[in-house]
Chain A
Amino acid sequence: MKGNHKLTWFGLGILFTLIIAGLLVSCSRGPKVIERGDVAEAAIATYVAPGDTDEYYLFYSGGHSGNVYVAGVPSMRHIATIPVFAPYPATGYGFDKDTKAMLGSYTWGDVHHPALSETQGDYDGRWLFVNDNANNRLARIDLRDFKVKQILGPIPNISGYHGGSFVTPNTEYVLAASRFSVPLPKGTFEPIENYATKYNGIVAGVPINPQTGEMSVGWQIMMPPFDFDLGDAGKGVSDGWAFWTCYNAERATGKLEVTSTQKDRDYVVAVNWKAAEQAVKDGKVTQISGVNVIDPKAAPGVVYLIPAAKSPHGVDVSPDGKYIVASGKLQSITTVFDMEKVLAAIQNKAFSGEEDGIPVLNYDQVKEAEVNVGLGPLHTQFDDQGYAYTSLFVESAVAKWKMGSWEVADKIPISYNIGHLSTAEGDTMHPSGKYLVALNKLSHGRHMNVGPSQPESSQLIGISGEKMKLLYDAFTEPEPHYAQMIRADKLKPIEVYPKEELKDPNAVWDVKDTAVTREGNNVLVKMIAVRSSFEPNKIEVNQGDRVTIYLTNIEQTTDELHGFGLGEYNLNVVVDPGEMKVIEFVADKPGVFPYYCTNFCSALHQEMQGYLLVKPQ
């Protein structure tokens, strides 16, 4: 018996030791610890003291929220929301006559890529353009007052406006392209089996009026049924050219995840937009749904295709315009094309094939380098030291590489899965360097637990030194795709609409000019809002009347906003100092309905109210 006990204990001892050893070994093979950089240095680099302001504006696209978000760099604080495609009661957007008309029947949009207007290849601080991937629209935000002034569209013939917005160096055009190919004109039926031959994609230029910023529908180019993805405009050496990446050169349908990733190369589309303009002038167009559409076969010299690494997603032009950088998201290289070589290949007709009559340039003749950046390269941005930064989705990292030597100098892990990235003034001819913001898709574990529906992650990375330094984790509303970073002193928005500017005859500035007048079934109200009252504070109408309120905020002091909320009539409008808004509704419900100031304005904000009295029929 004694021997058995000893054996048992011995056996247990060995088992125990093996278990402990196993645990220790597996622990040491855990994930690599992500370097945080010096904490104190990062804290100082991102701290903006009370009373001070940030160095850069960061305009985020808001994705399917339909908004644009404004943050400051380096604090990464969210400062304001600019509503674009969705109603936003906080600022009354979508509730007054003008913004209701702009939104039309849609209550959402999918904002992917914001583009700041440029003059001579640098940001000029006039406008911000944003695309609507869902409903094929393009919006223009006036940076004088950070408000949307125009929504163009839905733009005919484009399905899934993903390939925008990107501006040419003097904002001649905002680029547009379709992510989805459909039979054209829209409304045409074609079985999906005919996709390869009867479906078409579109790349286009939306012309911008240089004085007013007014957008209009311009020329479009009929393309093979590829998925046109992202774009960038040429500048400097490549001025006059527009580029887009596209995937699904296979012209596949079905489970695209598989069917559209079979070939090794897709394309970068290069459009000579001056030649496109000429083609329109020469009448080499067909009218499709009222738009001038160019058929590349009928107008040679307008479009060319450059083979690019598998399923490219992201084409970016270097600051001097010499290099076109395209990243194949399903490979590990980023390809650099030399614009001078592209022009030479076109000149010498160095073509390796064609797609529906569009010449395909010989890859080896136009390629300058293939940079081994890492897994899943997407987008590239630039700094002021000749470096390029490419986001790596699959690897969840950013690679820093040198233009000219084409070597990777540094890599930094990202938490997690970076999409786009934005460097300070990074898509202009004179980037600032200094800061890089990584716009990431997954934020789990980096913030307090807020349940299953998680915010988005942006990380601020310092790029002044040789090695990149992670400075800050910020979290945003869903869902930024791309962003634009511009030096704060380049924008000088107003905070008060000057009295002299309000020319509308329905705007009144004095209590004695306010009135309620009747014209048949129409009741017109001229109302003022000031600290702390509405005048008139009583509106009497008959049930069924069409009521129009011209509401003027007569303040001339910054930040003195007033709101107008009419409960039970689903109305909330906010007026800025010196602004007038028009509120229209039908008084179809009888009774007495209070209206009140919704935007906190003064010590007697609670007392700022009135009554709408609707006499029953």
Chain B
Amino acid sequence: MTSFLERETTFFEQPLTLKSRILILIAVLVLIPSFMFPLWNMSFYSNQYTDGLVLRIYSYQLEGGKTPNRDDLREINSLNHYIGMRPLLESDFSEFTWVPLVIGLLMILALRAMVLGKMSNLVDVFVLFTYFGLFSLWSFYHRLYMYGHNLDPTASIKVQPFTPPVFGSKQIANFTVNSFPGPASYALFAFAALLLVSILLSARFSKGKGDERAA
């Protein structure tokens, strides 16, 4: 037991190799596009909307497709009011404030790990980031559930409460709803993957007595 704890402490004390540190830098750079592209894209197709109504969820804003002939966000809200769904208003989503903040913090923590060069710093970031990712996915599902379930009882058209898809394609009334991650999500995923590789590159597991690592 003590030996295990010793080895475990030693593991977290170990320094990060140069390769690892470079990878952390790359990971941080890869995260920058997460501010510029959508995290998630949803589209809604029907006979009347053959080109699809589009919703783009960024880390900092909600945007609908916008052409001179149609404002998709207005249109989606217009259609949804018939079934009693709450209108989608950017101001209702606190996520758009704290998500960019959290991503920024994680970038700082990653850079900190790169500078301080200790395995524990890096593992901290990775764990926190994974938690953030899983929490976000749950939170997204929760939002979708709440919007699809708290329908106004006085709505003109009564539909069974439903949950729009988090991932994939689903038929809801006359609409085919598609929901897929956007480039920003891929950036986040790449960040995590690069951090994991960075950990593995530096990881040396002590065989028992003494340490034989190279610095």
Q: Determine if chain A interacts with chain B.
A: yes
Within 8 A of B (CB), among A588-607: 603-604, 607
Q: Is A496 located at the chain interface by the 8 A CB criterion?
A: yes
Cβ-defined contact, A496 with B69, below 8 A: yes
The CA of A173 and the CA of B82, in the complex, are separated in Å by 53
Cβ-defined contact, A498 with B70, below 8 A: no
Cβ-defined contact, B70 with A558, below 8 A: yes
Say yes or no: A557-B68 contact (C-beta < 8 A), given A603-B82, A603-B157, A604-B82: no
Cβ-defined contact, B75 with A557, below 8 A: yes
The CA of A603 and the CA of B155, in the complex, are separated in Å by 13
The minimal Cβ–Cβ distance linking B105 to chain A, given in whole angstroms, is: 37
Contact residues in B for A557 (Cβ distance below 8 Å): 69-71, 74-75, 78
The minimal Cβ–Cβ distance linking A485 to chain B, given in whole angstroms, is: 26
Contact residues in A for B78 (Cβ distance below 8 Å): 530-531, 555, 557
Contact residues in B for A531 (Cβ distance below 8 Å): 78
Q: Is B160 located at the chain interface by the 8 A CB criterion?
A: no
User: Dominant SS at the A interface?
Assistant: loop
Say yes or no: A604-B70 contact (C-beta < 8 A), given A530-B78, A531-B78: no
Q: Is B156 located at the chain interface by the 8 A CB criterion?
A: yes
Within 8 A of B (CB), among A538-576: 555-558
CB contact between A556 and one of B71, B156, B157 (< 8 Å): that residue: B71
Contact residues in A for B71 (Cβ distance below 8 Å): 556-557
The minimal Cβ–Cβ distance linking A115 to chain B, given in whole angstroms, is: 28
Q: Is A502 located at the chain interface by the 8 A CB criterion?
A: no
Contact residues in B for A494 (Cβ distance below 8 Å): 68
Q: Is A495 located at the chain interface by the 8 A CB criterion?
A: yes
Cβ-defined contact, A496 with B68, below 8 A: yes
The minimal Cβ–Cβ distance linking B191 to chain A, given in whole angstroms, is: 37
The CA of A558 and the CA of B74, in the complex, are separated in Å by 12
Q: Chain B: interface residue count, which band? A: 10 to 19
Cβ-defined contact, A556 with B82, below 8 A: no
The minimal Cβ–Cβ distance linking B213 to chain A, given in whole angstroms, is: 64
Contact residues in A for B156 (Cβ distance below 8 Å): 603-604, 607
- Nearest-CB residue, chain B, relative to A558: B69
Contact residues in A for B68 (Cβ distance below 8 Å): 494-496, 498
The CA of A558 and the CA of B157, in the complex, are separated in Å by 24
The CA of A531 and the CA of B82, in the complex, are separated in Å by 9
The CA of A557 and the CA of B75, in the complex, are separated in Å by 7
Within 8 A of B (CB), among A487-523: 494-496, 498
The CA of A557 and the CA of B53, in the complex, are separated in Å by 11
The CA of A603 and the CA of B156, in the complex, are separated in Å by 10
The CA of A494 and the CA of B69, in the complex, are separated in Å by 8
- Nearest-CB residue, chain B, relative to A499: B71
Contact residues in B for A607 (Cβ distance below 8 Å): 156
The CA of A603 and the CA of B79, in the complex, are separated in Å by 10
The CA of A267 and the CA of B75, in the complex, are separated in Å by 61
- Nearest-CB residue, chain B, relative to A556: B71
The CA of A129 and the CA of B173, in the complex, are separated in Å by 48
Contact digits for B61-78, partner A, Cβ 8 Å, 1 yes 0 no: 000000011110011001
Contact digits for B145-163, partner A, Cβ 8 Å, 1 yes 0 no: 0000000000011000000
The CA of A495 and the CA of B69, in the complex, are separated in Å by 6
The minimal Cβ–Cβ distance linking B77 to chain A, given in whole angstroms, is: 11
The CA of A607 and the CA of B157, in the complex, are separated in Å by 13
The minimal Cβ–Cβ distance linking A145 to chain B, given in whole angstroms, is: 12
Within 8 A of B (CB), among A309-329: none
The CA of A557 and the CA of B68, in the complex, are separated in Å by 8
The CA of A555 and the CA of B78, in the complex, are separated in Å by 9
Contact residues in B for A530 (Cβ distance below 8 Å): 78
The CA of A603 and the CA of B74, in the complex, are separated in Å by 17
Within 8 A of A (CB), among B69-119: 69-71, 74-75, 78, 82
The CA of A498 and the CA of B69, in the complex, are separated in Å by 9
The minimal Cβ–Cβ distance linking B150 to chain A, given in whole angstroms, is: 21
The CA of A604 and the CA of B78, in the complex, are separated in Å by 12
The minimal Cβ–Cβ distance linking A602 to chain B, given in whole angstroms, is: 8
- Nearest-CB residue, chain B, relative to A554: B74
Contact residues in B for A558 (Cβ distance below 8 Å): 69-70
The CA of A555 and the CA of B77, in the complex, are separated in Å by 11
Contact residues in A for B74 (Cβ distance below 8 Å): 555-557
The minimal Cβ–Cβ distance linking A277 to chain B, given in whole angstroms, is: 40
The minimal Cβ–Cβ distance linking A502 to chain B, given in whole angstroms, is: 14
Contact residues in B for A496 (Cβ distance below 8 Å): 68-70
The CA of A558 and the CA of B68, in the complex, are separated in Å by 8
The CA of A558 and the CA of B156, in the complex, are separated in Å by 24
- Nearest-CB residue, chain A, relative to B70: A557
Contact residues in B for A495 (Cβ distance below 8 Å): 68-69
The minimal Cβ–Cβ distance linking A564 to chain B, given in whole angstroms, is: 19
The minimal Cβ–Cβ distance linking A609 to chain B, given in whole angstroms, is: 14
- Nearest-CB residue, chain A, relative to B48: A559
The minimal Cβ–Cβ distance linking B78 to chain A, given in whole angstroms, is: 6
The minimal Cβ–Cβ distance linking B72 to chain A, given in whole angstroms, is: 9
Within 8 A of B (CB), among A22-79: none
Within 8 A of A (CB), among B179-207: none
B interface residues with partner A (beta carbon < 8 Å): 68-71, 74-75, 78, 82, 156-157
Some 11 contacts from A to B, beta carbons below 8 A apart, are: A495-B68, A495-B69, A496-B68, A496-B69, A496-B70, A556-B71, A557-B71, A603-B82, A603-B156, A604-B156, A607-B156
Known: A557-B69, A603-B156. 16 other contacts (CB 8 A): A496-B68, A496-B69, A496-B70, A531-B78, A555-B78, A556-B74, A556-B75, A557-B70, A557-B71, A557-B74, A557-B75, A558-B70, A603-B82, A603-B157, A604-B156, A607-B156
Which 5 A-B residue pairs are closest in the complex by CB-CB distance?
A558-B69, A556-B71, A557-B70, A495-B69, A557-B75
